[in-house]
Amino acid sequence: MGRKLKRVSSPARHDWRETARECGFQFHTIEGDLYWDESVRYEFSLTEIERDLEDPTQELHGMCMDLVDHLVRHPEKLSLVGIPTEQWDFVCDSWKRADPHLYGRMDFSYDGDGPAKLLELNYDTPTSLYEASFFQWVWMEQMRERGDLPQGTDQYNRLHEDLLEALVRLRALAGKAHPEEPAFVFTAVAESDEDRGTTQYIQDLASQAGFPTRFLDIFDIGVDAQGRLTDTSEEVIQRIFKLYPWEWLFAEDFAKHLATTPTAWLEPPWKSILSNKGVLPLLWERHPNHPNLLEARFEESPGQELPAGWVRKPVHSREGSNIRIRPPRGEEIVVDGPYGEGPAIWQAYHPLPNFDGRYALVGSWVIGDRASGIGMREDSTLITRDTSRFVPHVIV
């Protein structure tokens, strides 16, 4: 059977750069290379979207939530997913009191023929949100308006609405707004355009949902004598959104104050369980041969020889760094990076589909607890990195 999912060339809007500027999309070009690429688009059928991506995403999300629940009941297993012992209570308490969460992204290998295979989860600091949720949507609306796409064209993308809805629910949980309410602090590494942009987008939605908000560079977070985190106006941070990985927070100087600060976190601490590759073998163990999972196991010892047909990923790694691929035949592919230390997992080799020389990855979003939409990334190599291009999609 031939594949059905199509990659077709698409006329770029003549004014897309201007539109990007007006929309506040500043990172469409990264280090001189195009990041947003609308000269091509992916075309899905509704069946491919619903049967092959939306439903599996919803199901896998349920499996992930079950897994968190299981691990919280068996905290001794938390070391498998790299949570330091001193943070176990912090993480488990957050799940037990049902701290709400906002979003996550699953990365799939999918070519329109056969089930989508889960490569990994980004459930703590998923990026490429704004371009998927907002700019991709504006692209399609403009293309339709200008007659470059048929009127009936659709897109699997409820991200914006679902994000707002999730934040409105959070607002309801936080009680009535009042003038003396502490700000909902948004933090990230301010000098990163991409992180800053993504954070600003969510901050915008939070203020629409009725929260007083402010941005704080992560380096500016302080602590008072009682071990409470503070902002630059010398107020205790009571609500915070962070686009910064839990595993990093756990390793830094202020980690010892996490237990004492009365701060509500987004994403909540329990998301640290799902933000690493250790989840993959645990999911396989609980659901062996699930059509959307790839076989995975923990590496037994650090120097162990990687057999052909397997991919090695450190439990904590990001942006495709420190990955080793041993295809069944041919040469090994190694990507260097800063995350080489620590335990690793092996995952069965399942290459990304190649369309016209480009390897495509489907990022499938969960907002609140709902499968909400997708964003396509593509790269000239088998490994999707932070600079891999974002390409829009449509449902035809």
Partner 1 sequence: MKRSRVLKLSLLGTAPLALVACGSKDRDLTYESVQDCIEEGRATPKTCSTAFNESFKVHYKQAPRFYSEGSCLTEYGNCLRYQENGSNFWIPVMSGFLAGRYVHSYGSTRRPYVVTNGDYGYRPLYRSHDDWNRGTWSTWGSGTGGSGSLTTRTYGSGRSSWGSSSSSSGSSGSSGRISTSSVSRGGFGGSSSASGGWGGS
Write out the binding residues for partner 1, residues 302-361 only, by CB under 8 A. Answer: 318-319, 338-339
- Region at 114 (left for phi over 0; alpha for psi -120 to 50; beta for the rest): left
**In the complex, what is the shortest distance from the CB of residue 11 to partner 1, in angstroms, rounded to a whole number?**
17
Q: Which of 23, 34, 259, 308 binds partner 1 (CB under 8 A)?
A: 23
DSSP per residue, 313-325: EESS--TTTT-EE
Nearest to 396 by CA among 58, 1, 2, 4: 4
Which residues 199-258 are close enough to bind partner 1 by CB under 8 A? Answer: 200-201, 203-205, 207-208, 217-226, 228, 230, 234-236, 238-239, 243-245, 248-249, 251-254, 257
Question: What b-and-e string marks burial along 41-72, b requiring 16 or more CB atoms within 10 Å of the CB?
Answer: bbbbeeebbeebbbebbeebbebbbebbeebb
- Would you say 98 or 334 has its CB closer to partner 1? 98
Cα distance between residue 154 and residue 141, in whole Å: 9
- Would you say 231 or 326 has its CB closer to partner 1? 231
**In the complex, what is the shortest distance from the CB of residue 309 to partner 1, in angstroms, rounded to a whole number?**
25
- Would you say 318 or 389 has its CB closer to partner 1? 318
Q: Look at the block and give the residue holding tokens 């409820």.
A: 158
Which residues 152-191 are close enough to bind partner 1 by CB under 8 A? Answer: 154-162, 164-165, 169-170, 173-178, 180-182, 188-189, 191
For partner 1, which stretch binds (CB under 8 A), given 1-9, 48-56, 108-116, 289-297?
48-56
**In the complex, what is the shortest distance from the CB of residue 292 to partner 1, in angstroms, rounded to a whole number?**
13
Applying CB under 8 A, the site for partner 1 has a residue count of 114
Contact call for residue 293 and partner 1 (CB under 8 A): no
Which residues 53-72 are close enough to bind partner 1 by CB under 8 A? Answer: 54-55, 58-59, 61-62, 65
Cα distance between residue 366 and residue 278, in whole Å: 20
- Would you say 29 or 304 has its CB closer to partner 1? 29
- Whether the Cβ atoms of residue 369 and residue 61 lie closer than 8 Å to each other: yes
For partner 1, which stretch binds (CB under 8 A), given 3-11, 32-40, 50-58, 291-299?
50-58
> What are 182's two structure tokens?
């502490």
Cα distance between residue 343 and residue 361, in whole Å: 25
Burial class (CB in 10 A: 0-12, 13-18, 19+), 218: middle
Burial class (CB in 10 A: 0-12, 13-18, 19+), 32: exposed
- Whether the Cβ atoms of residue 275 and residue 122 lie closer than 8 Å to each other: yes
Cα distance between residue 276 and residue 246, in whole Å: 10
Contact call for residue 396 and partner 1 (CB under 8 A): no
Which residues 103-132 are close enough to bind partner 1 by CB under 8 A? Answer: 122, 124-128
For partner 1, which stretch binds (CB under 8 A), given 84-92, 259-267, 303-311, 349-357?
259-267
**In the complex, what is the shortest distance from the CB of residue 27 to partner 1, in angstroms, rounded to a whole number?**
11
